[in-house]
Amino acid sequence: MENKEQLSILIKGCLKNKRRSQEELFRMYYGKMLAVCLRYIQDRDSAEEVLQEGFIKIFDKLEAFDYKGSFEGWMRRIMANTAIDLIRRHKKDPMLTDNDEDFKLGSVNPSIEREEEEFTAIKAEMALEAIQELSPAYRAVFNLYVIEEYTHKEIAEILNISEGTSKSNLAKAKQNLQKILIDRFKNIDEK
């Protein structure tokens, strides 16, 4: 990654609307920011649209970056919020969602607990694929809580759901991930 001085020069170029600086910034962070989008959006084409929209927001809000924290962290937050905005839009249009019921509070079914070692031993690629299989609501809460380290209160505000729903969706997401991964391990063992 570029050092702080080089990054500062690049940001200043973007603030002056220099196309070359914008392209370079985009290229530098494309992979990492696409990974953030894919945590929330299952379809790669849609994730790439979110990525494009996120970069537009980054360029529009670049003057707000104060150099106090990590630039990459600042960008990640914008990308996550852009993905969440898409989830919200889909939630409002029932024709676009997989299952709106995911955002409603429900009781958590008890499941067989597996040791956390199973999760830590999983390759990142397998884990990402499993997360992609979660419904949009479960995937959003899981990513915000586990990956982005938001609190349930913050998640509730971001997604416009209750804290209880956030906790329930996280528990259900973990249960579903566990089932997906156990099935995958069984299939591997059988082969």
pLDDT at residue 185 in the model: 66
58 and 116 fall within a common domain: no
124 and 54 fall within a common domain: no
pLDDT at residue 177 in the model: 86
8 and 88 fall within a common domain: yes
* pLDDT at residue 153 tops 90: yes
pLDDT in tens, 20-40: 999 999 999 998 899 889 888
Which of the four pLDDT bands, split at 50, 70 and 90, describes residue 187? low
Q: What CATH number did the domain enclosing 67 receive?
A: 1.10.1740.10
128 and 61 fall within a common domain: no
DSSP state of 58: H
Domain end among 92, 124, 145: 92
26 and 60 fall within a common domain: yes
As a whole number of angstroms, the distance between CA 87 and CA 139 comes to 10
Number of domains comprising the chain: 2
52 and 115 fall within a common domain: no
117 and 86 fall within a common domain: no
pLDDT in tens, 34-75: 988 988 888 888 889 999 999 999 999 999 988 888 899 899
Q: What CATH number did the domain enclosing 151 receive?
A: 1.10.10.10
Helical (H) or strand (E) element with 85: helix 71-92
pLDDT at residue 14 in the model: 92
Q: For residue 62, with 0-12 CB atoms within 10 Å meaning exposed, 13-18 middle and 19 or more buried, which class applies?
A: middle
112 and 175 fall within a common domain: yes
pTM confidence score? 0.57
12 and 40 fall within a common domain: yes
As a whole number of angstroms, the distance between CA 119 and CA 122 comes to 5
Which of the four pLDDT bands, split at 50, 70 and 90, describes residue 121? very low
pLDDT at residue 40 in the model: 86
pLDDT at residue 90 in the model: 73
* pLDDT at residue 100 tops 90: no
Domain end among 92, 114, 132: 92
Question: Taking Cα atoms as reference points, which of 145, 153, 146, 138 lies closest to residue 100?
Answer: 138
Chain mean pLDDT for the chain: 78
77 and 113 fall within a common domain: no
Q: Evaluate the CA torsion angle 182, 184, 188, 191 in order and state its sign.
A: positive
* pLDDT at residue 119 tops 70: no
Using the structure block, give the residue that is written with the tokens 């416009």: 160
Q: Domain of 146?
A: 100-190
Structure-block tokens of residue 61: 């809000």
171 and 106 fall within a common domain: yes
As a whole number of angstroms, the distance between CA 126 and CA 132 comes to 10
% of the chain exceeding 90 in pLDDT: 31
18 and 88 fall within a common domain: yes
Q: Which residue has the higher pLDDT, 151 or 129?
A: 151
